Amino acid sequence: MNKPTPTPVTGLPWHDIDTVMLDMDGTLLDKYYDDYFWEKYLPQSYARKHLLSNKEAEAQLLARYKSVESTLQWTDLDYWSEHLGLDIARLKSEITHLIGVHTYVVDFLQWIRAQGKALHLVTNAHPKALEIKLNTTGIEHYFDKIICSADVGAAKEQPPFWRGLESLLDFDKKRTLFADDTVKVLAAARDYGIGHLVHIARPSSRIPLRYSDEYPSVADFSELLPD
C-alpha cells in the first residue's frame, strides 16, 4: 500500500481568513500524553484493581474504547470513572509531566493574535481534562473562546457539533481556518463548509509523520507562519 503523498500548505490566503479554530490534543499539545495514559497508564491501574495482567487489561479496555469511539463518551472522564470504577481525572493528574506543547505552537498563536484575527480553541476534551492541560501549559490566554464538545452536545466528528457551534461562536465558515490531527474531524468540518482546513501530520512526538492524502498537511506550525 502506497504511503499518502503530503499536500503541502503553500501560501495560505491569510487576507481571506478572519477566524482561526484549533484542536488541542495532537494539534497544539503532544498526543503522547493521551496515548500513554489510555494505552498504558490506565490499563495498569485497571489491572491492579481487577487482578488482571497488563495485557488482559489493555485488551479489555481497547474493546471498550472502540465501542464509544467518535462519541462524547470517548473523552468523557466522568463516563470512564463510572464504568471503570477509577478516578480518571486523578489518574490523569498523576502524569502531567508528560503534557507538552508542540514546537512552534506558541509562535503561531502569538502571530495570529498580532494579526487581529479571532482565535478559538475547539476540542473534544472533557472539561476536567481541559482544565488539567490548560493549568499545565498556560496557553488559554491566547484564545478568545474555548469550546468543548460537551458544551455543544456532540463530538467534532458528528455534524451536529458544527451546527451547534454556530450558536456559541460568531464566524463566517468560508473565512475560517481549522486545524486538527484527525481526518474524521476534518471531514466533518469540510462537509459543514469550513473554508480552510489543515491536517497535523505529527500528533505525537513518538510516532512517525502520517500525512493525509485528502487535506493539506503540516509537520508543525512553522509551516503555517509566513516567511
Residue 186 burial class via C-beta count within 10 angstroms: exposed 0-12, middle 13-18, buried 19 and up: buried
Q: What is the pLDDT of residue 1?
A: 41
Least confident of 9-18, 20-29, 67-76, 119-128: 9-18
For 157-190, what is each residue's pLDDT tens digit? Answer: 999 999 999 999 999 999 999 999 999 999 999 9
Alpha-carbon distance of 21 to 16, in angstroms, equals 14
Q: What is the pLDDT of residue 227?
A: 74
Alpha-carbon distance of 23 to 105, in angstroms, equals 12
DSSP label of 216:
B
Q: Is the predicted pLDDT of residue 130 greater than 60, yes or no? A: yes
For 200-217, what is each residue's pLDDT tens digit? Answer: 999 999 999 999 999 999
Q: What is the pLDDT of residue 10?
A: 60
Q: Catalytic residue positions?
A: 16
Q: What is the pLDDT of residue 6?
A: 54
Alpha-carbon distance of 13 to 183, in angstroms, equals 22
Q: Is the predicted pLDDT of residue 11 greater than 90, yes or no? A: no
Alpha-carbon distance of 107 to 225, in angstroms, equals 8
Average pLDDT along the chain = 94
Q: Is the predicted pLDDT of residue 136 greater than 80, yes or no? A: yes
pTM tops 0.85, yes or no: yes
Place of cell 472533557: 126
Q: Tell me the domains of the chain and their CATH numbers.
A: 14-30+100-224 (3.40.50.1000), 33-97 (no CATH)
Q: Is the predicted pLDDT of residue 3 greater than 90, yes or no? A: no
